[in-house]
Structure 1
Amino acid sequence: MPAPTHDTLLHIAERARWEAARDTGVSYSMSTLGRTLAEEGFIHCSSDMLQLEGVLDRFYTAVPRSALVLLVIDTSRLDAPVRYEQVGDDLFPHVYGPIPVSAVIDVRSLPETR
């Protein structure tokens, strides 16, 4: 059975790290909270808000929402492959390379619910 594909992916980013990439035009290369693409091997993403909310609840409860942003990524603008990999009972998209600033089509606040 083929892995799902999506036109957009979601990524939780530390606001300061995203803004530094955006302001310099350098591709975004943070994998997850406090870990780089080089350290992790890929950039963690979510397929939809349900997955994203689960990630927020499991890994970001100690981080103020104001310190985070939600990146909406257009997969057609990525230079790196996206692989859907099993994590627990779900398939999560992982981007195996940096995310060009131009691939981020929207930056949103994260939901406040916990």
Structure 2
Amino acid sequence: MILHLLSRESWAEAQANRQLVVPSVATEGFAHCSTEHQIVDVANKYFRGVHNMVLLKIDPTKLTSQLKFEPPAHLDGSPTLPHEPLFPHVYGPINLDAVLEVIDFPCDSNGHFSAPPQLNTFNVVNIASAPHHWQRAAELSVSEWKKYFPNDTVQTYFDLYGLTGQYEGHFAETYIAVNPEDELLGMATLVDDDELPESNEPGPWLAAVLTVPSKRQNGVGSTLVQQVVKRAHQHGHRELFLYTADEQEWYAKKGWIPTRETELNGIAHTVMSLPL
């Protein structure tokens, strides 16, 4: 899901007009939106102390206008920073049948916004610091990737999570998303070698991006990818790679560039790269 923040008056006007035409579409070409993981920071940066606000919870698959994930627009004129998280931008009106829920979003007496209970907020942590999640993460990984790596077992992934960092001349870091109830929502890994046969790419690789099916469309996957990109840059790399069988469009929207076609276990994949 994605979110759009607006005044209650603007929402009433949109209902009367049967569509939401955000003023920024005329001035910037798109409507500013956020993921559930981003919205509180956005509200406190740009709307602190503003009352009578609501959040539109939007199903991106139902939008009739084009949706792109792009760097933030910096409405306050602050400079763009390298490797900032990508934000959802809707290039045109927001059709009301894409709005799943309207959430009251009041600020407190100090003008500060906090996440309402309707949002699926989550944190990203290194799995090495959360061993109680290793078993579940390993089981999900085996189920998701067995058609590509049929010889991997739960123990294969369990061992990987315990070896996060430098080990035997290799490197891996796995990050997981967990909600306030400490429920595992998804994971992604930064590795130096992603076991792609006949690969000439120097690495490192974004690998094993997985979101629990019932938790998708909430920004989990995007946030995990952003964490791996950030870590690759912090380690001094200038390019990051991945390969995917069926998510080329999703990654392309985030700036990844197709570089070649290949096969893994008889299944066609696209290798993609991201300049850092």
Q: Shared fold by TM > 0.5?
A: yes
Match status 1:102 vs 2:89: no
- Aligned partners of 2:2, 2:10: CA distance in 1, in Å? 18
Tell me which residue corresponds to 1:93.
88
Q: What is the aligned-residue identity percentage?
A: 35
Tell me which residue corresponds to 2:59.
74
Unaligned runs of 5+ in 1: 1-7
Amino acid in the other structure paired with 1:58: K
- Aligned partners of 2:56, 2:87: CA distance in 1, in Å? 16
CA contact (8 A) 2:55 2:102 kept: yes
Match status 1:37 vs 2:25: yes
- Aligned partners of 1:112, 1:38: CA distance in 2, in Å? 28
> Deviation at 1:62?
3.4
Question: What RMSD in Å do the two structures reach over aligned CA positions?
Answer: 1.5
Q: CA deviation digits over 1:4-47, x for unaligned, max 9?
A: xxxx210101110111111332x1011xxxx4321221000011
Unaligned runs of 5+ in 2: 73-80, 113-276
Amino acid in the other structure paired with 2:85: D
> Deviation at 1:112?
3.3
Q: 3-state DSSP class of the match of 1:37?
A: helix
Match status 1:17 vs 2:5: no
Q: CA deviation digits over 1:34-67, x for unaligned, max 9?
A: x43212210000111x310011111001311xx2
Q: 3-state DSSP class of the match of 1:18?
A: helix
Tell me which residue corresponds to 2:48.
61
Larger radius of gyration: 2
Amino acid in the other structure paired with 2:11: W
- Aligned partners of 1:56, 1:90: CA distance in 2, in Å? 16
Amino acid in the other structure paired with 1:112: C
- Aligned partners of 2:98, 2:13: CA distance in 1, in Å? 15
Question: Structure 2 length as normaliser, TM-score?
Answer: 0.34
CA contact (8 A) 2:2 2:58 kept: yes
Q: 3-state DSSP class of the match of 1:47?
A: coil
- Aligned partners of 2:24, 2:21: CA distance in 1, in Å? 6
Amino acid in the other structure paired with 2:4: H
> Deviation at 1:111?
5.2
How many positions carry a matched residue from both structures? 99
Amino acid in the other structure paired with 1:68: M
Question: Structure 1 length as normaliser, TM-score?
Answer: 0.78
Q: 3-state DSSP class of the match of 1:102?
A: helix
Tell me which residue corresponds to 1:28.
20
Amino acid in the other structure paired with 1:92: F
> Deviation at 1:90?
1.2
